Structure 1
Amino acid sequence: MNLAERLQSVRKRRGLTQKDLAFHSGVSLSLIRKLEQGEREDTRLETLRKLAKSLQVSTSDLIIRPEPGEITSGEWESIRDALLGLNGRPDEMPTAAGVAGAVEAAEVLFTDNRFDELGELLPALLRDVLALGDGERQLRSRGVHLAAHLLIMARQFAAAEIALRRALDDAPGRFEEAAIINTRCWLLMRQGDLAGTLDLAARWADEVEPRVSRATPEELATWGGLLLRVSTAASRNNEPGESADALRFAQAAAVALRIEWAPPSDPLREFGPVAVATRRAENYMIEDRPDRVLELAAKIPRSGFRARASSRNRHRLDVAKANMRLHRYADSFEILKEVRVTSPEWIDKQPMARDILGQIVAKRRTLTSEMRELADFIHLEY
């Protein structure tokens, strides 16, 4: 059943006309008609959430899940082939120390959002990583897990599944397994599987839950990171009670940890008080409460993030979106420019940035040269 059939079926079962649904959801009648007539095969998640809330179903009941990302260039094909062991073995066997140094350097490329460089490097790095013996399972898992992060970012979902399975097979302990599961939750989220994300993250959060008063930093960061996944998935899936509960427990973990920290088992992901605050702001934006987003954002220190962290950039887009919703278009555009300057390769891959700029553009008769340039840079459709 496609979105048109699904939406029409649920609406009729609720005894609502299209006009009733538009009134209760705040979604325009014309868009509802287009969705039900199949003129639009998909729409923004926030629109689906509004419709789902009015129809008293979960958002995931309406979502049309995208097909796994297709291999669209030689770069991704080379990474996939390396994961499958099709790139052969290196002429000279790598050393564990050399590979460890290469993996650490590659992780910096990811956290700095230098995705093109990382994509060029990964096939050779994966070939060396996978050539290591069983005595270096942790290093093998870490290198392949890094590849999964990049593949998810690039929407190469099928290849990311391969990487996550291989990383999990080699994971040397519970913390490493939980880190990989957290990344799998991200994959499920990007595929639109909110119910699957919620179930997987909640089960693992329960399994790794520590006694907070005696917990190590790694236990706190691992548990807290999974709770943030639970909160976001529940908020998007119209389950505000579960979202709030998860965020409350994550806050307890963050208070106990006191700082932003990336554990050795999950070096690409920081957890701490700022991570919890930005996730709370994200949930407010999902719930269409832009005033609360801006109120909370004003209290979050800019110094709490890595300089070009994806979490920082995502938060800044939430702030840009909140400004746009409150008709502060100039402020919203300034934030988009700021993120473009700090993380050009990151913003280029964000549909949310295109959506925000598209709505700003729609409100203006003429565009400034900066607006036209940014629209071209992030491939805003005409």
Structure 2
Amino acid sequence: MARWSDYTTGERIKILRGREIRQTDLAEMTGLSVVTVQKAEQDRALSLPTLLKIADALRVDTSVILGQQAPRRTMDRADRSVMRALSCAVHDTAAGALPDVEHVPTLEELEEITDRCWGLYWRGHYTEAGTVAAPFVTSAAAAVHASPVGEQARALGALSDAYRVAGYVANLMGNRDLAYAAIGHAQATAERASDDLRAALVKSGRAWVYLRDARLSEALTLAERAAVDIEPRFSTATPEQLTVYGSHINFAAVVASRMNDKDRAADYLSQSHAAGARMGAEHRAHGTLFGPVTATTQAVGVNVSLGQAGKALQLAGSIHDVSQLTPAARNRYAMDKAMAQADAKMWDASLDTLEAALRAAPEWGRHQALPGVIVQKVGKASTARLRRVSELIGASAAGAGGFLPATARTAL
């Protein structure tokens, strides 16, 4: 498989342009002539002004076009535009550079926007969630600025949520620097609001960024600390407290499983099941969902990570209704189940599970790495099934040795 640096600069421009942007479109977007664009893609001429205009139009750094760093996985032009807007909103507001806002939202309006953002995020509509989150950050920052001193807590809580959504979207899209920045601002804002539950959720969010950045021991330490900070008394805990606590314990179990710490993962799963049983049903609070179904589906994923496919499938067999979960949680559970089936050499069943999830949520699926891992693992299924699923994730079905993003496939 060719590396990004193996392509010529012209080939990289063509790949980034993709099928959705024609040469004439790129010329119009940059103010360059079509001939200049054609020469750039043919490696015949690329001046610095031309390079800067093309990079700006394609929403990438010049280093990506020059091959010094690879483009982020699965990011098309719309994704890159969202990342640019999010980055500006997060960094500008954190620096106190507030743009002119025609209408400063009321606290009630901010809470409605908060619910909308989290709803989009948990349905797996990450690009749309990021699109809404950028103006949400600036509007919430404006609301904090407009609130009288001593009466800013609710507005600060909304701003912390806005930063957290921005951080989560950036983390999923592989923009780790922005994810770290947004989570850091979310933490500082939650502390200003004196909101312990929000502060704990932000710590869990930072631990998730650590996890995706392969900082496992730090992720586990932070996840454990966040859970301990808010551990409630089960006899008197509110559903809101149990929701936040259960979510933290679940995540700690995930991190422990990634470190192959079976005893610690089992201990956290036990606490998660206890919290879920205490609640009796799924409950939403502060942009998260937890309950007995969440606890069990998460246990499936944890056991898959620990290499215990049989136990994971046994747990999956006990789950009969996942309708209470968010779409993103249902899809993730389907991925974990498909992975367990692949590990158990149930090739066709694995691809059936995977295909159903990808067809139900194509937007969610294109930001996930696990479907490609499953396709690589499943090498003995029917060719027709493998080809269908490979097409859904933009992968080559020619063997089980690997897959290539669809945007780059035509350039080989």
TM-score range, shorter chain: 0.7 to 0.9
Candidates 380, 383, 391, aligned match of 1:363: 380
Correspondences of 1:238-249 after superposition (within 5 Å): 238-249=260-271
SS at match of 2:130: helix
Q: Does the CA-based 8 Å contact 2:105-2:140 persist in structure 1?
A: no
Give the whole-Å Cα distance in 1 for the aligned partners of 2:104 and 2:388: 45
Q: Could you say which residue in structure 2 is the equivalent of 1:80?
A: 87
Identity, % of aligned positions: 22
Q: Is the 8 A contact 1:89 1:128 kept in 2?
A: no
Question: In 2, are the aligned partners of 1:68 and 1:157 still within 8 Å (CA)?
Answer: no
Q: Deviations over 1:146-173 (max 9, x none)?
A: 2122111112111111111221222131
Structure 1 residues 317 and 303, CA gap change in structure 2 (3 angstroms):
closer
Q: Deviations over 1:265-286 (max 9, x none)?
A: x22x211111211222112212
How far does residue 374 in structure 1 lie from its aligned partner after superposition? 3.1
1:311 counterpart residue number: 329
**Residue 145 of structure 1 corresponds to which residue in structure 2?**
164
Shift in alpha-carbon separation, 1:102–1:223, aligned structure 2, 3 A: closer
Q: Write out per-residue CA displacement over residues 319-368 of structure 1, whole angstroms, 9 at most, x where no aligned residue.
A: 111212222211111111111122111111111111112222x325x732
What is the TM-score of this pair, normalised by structure 2? 0.69
Q: 1:299 to 1:209 in 2, by over 3 A?
A: same
Letter in 1 for 2:268: A
In the alignment, what sits opposite 1:120? 131
Q: Which runs of 5+ in 1 are unaligned?
A: 1-66
Question: Is 1:348 aligned to residue 366 of structure 2?
Answer: yes
CA contact (8 A) 1:231 1:247 kept: yes
Matched, 1:204 2:222: no
Secondary structure of 1:301's counterpart equals coil
- Residue ranges of structure 2 left out of the alignment (5+ in a row): 1-69, 396-402, 405-412
Mapped to 1, the partners of 2:318 and 2:169 lie a distance apart of 31
Partner of 2:354: 336
User: Aligned partners of 1:129, 1:156: CA distance in 2, in Å?
Assistant: 23
User: Which stretch has the larger CA shift, 213-222 or 176-185?
Assistant: 213-222
Task: Give the 3-state SS of the residue equivalent to 1:130 in structure 2.
Answer: helix
2:175 & 2:331 partners in 1: Cα distance? 21
Question: In structure 2, how many angstroms separate the alpha carbons of the residues matched to 1:327 and 1:191?
Answer: 30
Q: For 1:93, give the aligned amino acid.
A: H
Q: For residue 350 of structure 1, what is the amino acid of its counterpart?
A: Q
What letter is aligned with 2:249? L
Calculate the aligned-residue CA RMSD, in Å. 2.5
The answer to whether structure 1 residue 229 and structure 2 residue 251 are counterparts is: yes
Which shifted more, 348-357 or 131-140?
131-140
Cα 1:69–1:159 shift into 2, 3 Å: farther
Equivalent pair of 2:338/2:349 in contact (CA under 8 Å): yes
Question: How many residues end up aligned between the 2 structures?
Answer: 310
Aligned to 1:165: 184
Distance in 2, matches of 1:130 and 1:69, equals 29
- CA–CA distance in 2 between the matches of 1:282 and 1:253? 18
The question of whether the paired residues in 1 share the 8 Å contact of 2:104 and 2:142 is answered with: yes
Counterpart Cα distance in 2 of 1:274 and 1:160: 29
Amino acid aligned to 2:227: A
Give the AA of the match of 1:115. Answer: Y
Alignment match, 2:103 = 93
Worse-matched range after superposition: 288-297 or 134-143: 134-143
Any conservation in 2 of the 1:113–1:343 contact (CA below 8 Å)?
Answer: yes
Answering whether residue 400 of structure 2 is matched by residue 376 of structure 1, we say no
The offset of 1:304, in angstroms, is 4.8
Alignment partner for residue 324 of structure 1, among 312, 334, 342?
A: 342
Contact 1:227 1:246 in 2 (8 A): yes
Alignment of 1:44-59 (within 5 A): none
The range that moved more, 191-200 or 245-254, is 245-254
CA–CA distance in structure 1, aligned partners of residues 250 and 71 of structure 2: 24
| Structure showing greater Rg | 2
Deviation larger for 77-86 or 113-122 = 113-122
Q: Could you say if the C-alpha distance between residues 287 and 69 of structure 1 is closer, same or farther in structure 2, counting changes exceeding 3 Å?
A: same
Q: For residues 280 and 220 of structure 2, what CA distance do their matches in structure 1 show?
A: 26
Which residue of the partner structure matches residue 117 of structure 2?
A: 106
Find the aligned partners of 1:73 and 1:164 in 2 and give their Cα distance.
Answer: 20
